[in-house]
Amino acid sequence: MPAVTVTTLQELKQKGEKIAMLTAYDATFAHAACQAGVEVLLVGDSLGMVVQGQDSTLPVSIDEMAYHTACVKRGNQGALIVTDLSFMSYATLEQTLANSARVMQAGAHMVKLEGGVTLADAVQRLAENGVPVCMHMGLTPQSVNLFGGYKVQGRGEAQARQLRADAIALEQAGAAMLLLECVPSELAAEITQAVKIPVIGIGAGSATDGQVLVLHDMLGLSLTGRAPKFVKNFMDGQTSIQAALAAYVKAVKEVSFPAAEHGFSA
């Protein structure tokens, strides 16, 4: 497929065509996802759990994020690569700039930070230096200890108002994309309408501009045997991994995934 860029994603939002995004951690699966039509590959710090067997994303280092980004780059065939900055690797502006440079030089086209409006200055500085930023909002796994577990965010008017305001402020600061995780479907729809940049959802309903899942989850692979509510096993009824990847892209594009049971209420 032609190389996907930030402009491509903006055009898909404007046309109302859903964006298919999946995590990838190596060259082989990056290649397979591209063959299936996935437009965005997320080198997620979720690799800590699904690749390394950790109990959270916190132990993942920026060295490991750069390594896996380089692996994904070698298998990529035109998708936009987004890489997470790992836990505490963007605690200061200097760290943010240096570590963003590391993963961009490894092959990323965009970096992803977890948080809200407190990172607006970092987003602005990155954009000024040619680094597109995806802001991960709602349930941010790096803050699991602060949240007291993996819980839906944005329930209640105060939380919802803050999320909406943060999304608008981050767009104004220069964010190129938003990712909403475990946010009530109605709130995610409001935020998607409120900003001009693409909004990707995971457990955020079907009204966002696109969807993302962890590769291993959508293939029915889990170390714990328990899949989150927002996950669908796309290997069901398929004869190959490649067919499952294609089924995921088709379901996202046709808006048959996510269904109502994959989302959350306010």
Rg of the chain over Cα atoms, rounded to whole angstroms, equals 17
Q: Which residues are designated catalytic?
A: 181
Q: What is the CATH number of the domain that holds 18?
A: 3.20.20.60
In-domain check, residue 1: no
pLDDT at 2: 87
Place of tokens 């605690």: 91
112 is in an annotated binding site: yes
Number of domains in the chain: 1
In-domain check, residue 94: yes
Give the HSE-up count for residue 160: Cα atoms under 13 Å, Cβ half-sphere: 15
| pLDDT over 80 (residue 148) | no
pLDDT at 183: 97
In-domain check, residue 135: yes
| pLDDT over 80 (residue 149) | no
- CA dihedral of residues 48, 49, 54, 59 (deg, nearest 10): 30
Q: How many CB atoms lie within 10 A of CB 82?
A: 28
240 is in an annotated binding site: no
Cα–Cα distance list, 219 to 4, 22, 79 (Å): 24, 11, 20
| pLDDT over 80 (residue 82) | yes
pLDDT tens readout for residues 13-72: 999 999 999 999 999 999 999 999 999 999 999 999 999 999 999 999 999 999 999 999
pLDDT at 1: 73
In-domain check, residue 233: yes
13 is in an annotated binding site: no
Q: For residue 73, what are the domain limits?
A: 6-262
Residue of 188, 209, 203, 262 lying closest to 8 (CA atoms) = 209
45 is in an annotated binding site: yes
27: left (phi over 0), alpha (psi -120 to 50) or beta: alpha
Residue of 10, 1, 18, 8 lying closest to 212 (CA atoms) = 18
